[in-house]
Structures are given as structure tokens and as C-alpha cells.
Amino acid sequence: MQTKVNSVAIRATNATGAGKTSTLKIGDKIIVTVTLSETVVVTGEPTYTISMGGVNKSATYVSTASNANILVFSYTIASGDMTTTGITATTTALSLNAGSIKDTTGNAIGLTTPAVVSSVNTITVDAKASNAVDSDPAALSQEVQRGFVINGEAVSDYSGHSVSNAGDVNGDGLDDLIVGAYQADLSGKSDAGKSYIVFGKQDTDVINLSAIVAGTGGFVINGESAGDWSGCSVSNAGDVNGDGLDDLIVGAHQANLSSGKSYVVFGKQDTNAIELSAIAAGTGGFVINGESEGDWSGYSVSNAGDVNGDGVDDLIVGAYRADPSGKISAGKSYVVFGKQDNTNAIE
């Protein structure tokens, strides 16, 4: 019986990078394959170092190809990875990382590898321009295919302090939006606040809230009294009155000596302005009055779903400075059941 002893070290004969030949984004992968001179057995987790914009990144061992002489490494693009000059690797890129790569007779690999070849070098990496939507307003204005921008009406209105999905307020099959501007001024009513309903649309044209006030593409909800800060909190309310249109809730926590008020505004199809004074009087909705001075009821508002199972959506109103049982600023939250029968104020 003869035994053949192989004492020749394994060597890497080729290293190839693969990936999209375009700009890579967060979550995209670079795959590097290293072809060896013979079949190997791998233990542990070897790594392969690639250079991206002058910064080294470690590609992790994924598998050995079916013919057992090709090693596959993968690197996933992460936030902050940037290069416009491609991705490269040196002849010392392969590392055992406390593992081993040996042939079937136990000979170890020689760690010198060819440099990575062309396909990786053509790739640009821009992890800032990720698969997630860029939230920079200027970028959104310039790259309108991603959405559209909503511009405030006047200086120091603070529009966008609160925003929410509004549901389908006008019943056209598209979801609408609500934008709060709690320091907006009305004639003779400084900081009364405004909330703007922006109807859903499929184009990407810029929305100016001054157009919403004029009744184009939505409607405005005007605060009741100076200093109320209506619109500091806004939310979809679900279908509180059961008419098939989504309703809204607008908080004004500084109203009535900071006891606070929350206004439930019923959905509608026209674009006429809503006056919260009318809502307080029971026209087009109803008001939820805060319990005690300084409670800040309405500082937070939200749809609560159908809490009591009667088929009508309910509401929840936060009053985080309320003093239950003498416990200073312990806070209270009020669940208000939806109602179909009347628009009487909720106390």
C-alpha cells in the first residue's frame, strides 16, 4: 500500500468581487469569491478585507462552493459607507481569523491572494442615499418623485409641530393628512393656532398651506381663542360618529386657563374652513373640556379604536399635569366613547 504525501501549500488563484454595477445602498451586498488551487476544508470564520473609500471593511465567510475550492465572502453595506472610486482589496486581504483553511491532507493555505478584480471596482457606494426615504426637506423638494413637501403659511406658525395621518376625511378613497401649527395667528387672536387638512393626492406638487386656507386641496381648522395653541396635538380620530367618513381630533391644551380642550371635527367633503368655536357650540363635531385649571388636557390626543365594542371609534385624551387624588402632576388620560346621537360637549 502506498501513501502519497501532499506537502504543497494551497494557494489562491483568483479573487473576484460581485455586486450591482451601480450605486449600492444600505442593505445591499458585496460578494467576494476566492478561488483556491485545490479542495479545502474550512473551520471557524475567516474574513476578507475590502477597502471602501480608504476605510477597511471586513467581509465575512459565507460558504464554500459546491466544488469545495471556492470561498465565498459577503459584506453588507451599512450606514456611513461611502466611496465614489470603487471597492478594492489587497493581496493580504484574506485572514484566518482564528479559523483554518486546509486541504484534505491537512496542508494550510498560503494567505497571499490576488487583488480583487474589475467588477467591484466599478461600484459606487452611497449609504446616505439609502433604500429608506431621505427626510431632508431640500432633498424632498428636489427629488419630488419620492413624495411632496408641505410649506407653512406664515412666519413663526410652527407648522409641522404635530402631524398625523387623518384617514379618509372626505371619502374619496385616498388617505388625508393633518398638520398642526399651534402658534398661528388669527385676526385678533394671537397664537390661537391652526390645523390644516391636506387631502390625499397622487401627484408630487408642493403644497402651500396658504392654498389650503383658500380651500384648494383641503381645509383649515381655526383656533377658538387667543393663546389656546390649538393644533399643538392632532390626530386621526377614526369614525367617531359612524357616518363612514374619518373624523379628526385637535388638542388645545392652553385653552380655558390651561384646563385644555380637545375638539372632535367630523369628516366632510367640502373645503370650507372650520371654526373651533362652532365645534364647541356643537356644529360639525363636539368639544371635550378639560377637568381643572392647569391640567393641560389635550396636550396629547389620539384615536383609541373601538374600546367598548359598540361599532364606533373611541378617543383618548392626555392631561399630563392633572392632579388625581392630590398627586401633583401625576396626570390623567381620558377615554371618550364615540357617539352618534348628539354633539353635546363632553365634560
Mean pLDDT of the chain: 82
Question: Would you call 214 exposed, middle or buried from its count of C-beta atoms within 10 A (0-12, 13-18, 19+)?
Answer: middle
**Backbone phi and psi for residue 298, each to the nearest 5 degrees, phi listed first:** 95, 5
**168 has pLDDT over 70:** yes
Pick the more confident residue, 127 or 223: 223
Task: Assess whether pLDDT exceeds 60 at residue 120.
Answer: no
pLDDT, position 85: 64
Residue 314 phi/psi, 5-degree rounding, is -115, 175
Q: Is there a contact between 12 and 112 (Cβ–Cβ < 8 Å)?
A: yes
Q: What CATH class does 12-126 carry? A: mainly beta
Assigned architecture for domain 137-336: 7 Propeller (2.130)
Residues 283-299: tens digit of each pLDDT: 999 999 999 999 999 99
Q: Whole-prediction pTM value?
A: 0.60
* Distance in angstroms (rounded) separating the CA atoms of residues 87 and 125: 9
Neighbours of 269 (CB within 10 A): 10
Going from the C-alpha of 137 to that of each of 140, 145, 155, 161, 179, the distances in angstroms are 5, 13, 17, 15, 16
- pLDDT of 323 reads 92
Phi, psi of 257 (to 5 degrees): 55, 40
Q: How confident is the model at residue 144 (pLDDT cuts 50, 70, 90)?
A: very low
Can you tell me the mean pLDDT for 151-161?
94
CA dihedral 137, 140, 142, 143 (to 10 degrees): 160
Tell me which of 69 and 278 has the higher pLDDT.
Answer: 278
Q: Which amino acid is at 318?
A: G
Which of 233, 246, 252 has its CA nearest to residue 170? 246
Of the candidates 173, 149, 183, the residue with the CA atom closest to the CA atom of residue 254: 183
Between 6 and 112, whose confidence is greater?
Answer: 112
pLDDT of residue 279: 95
First to last CA, the chain: 100
Cβ count within 10 A of residue 14: 13
Domain ranges of the chain: 12-126, 137-336
How far is Cα 288 from Cα 302, in angstroms, rounded to an integer? 13
Kindly report which listed range (11-15, 132-136, 149-153, 276-280) carries the lowest average pLDDT score. 132-136
- Taking residues 325-347, report their average pLDDT: 87
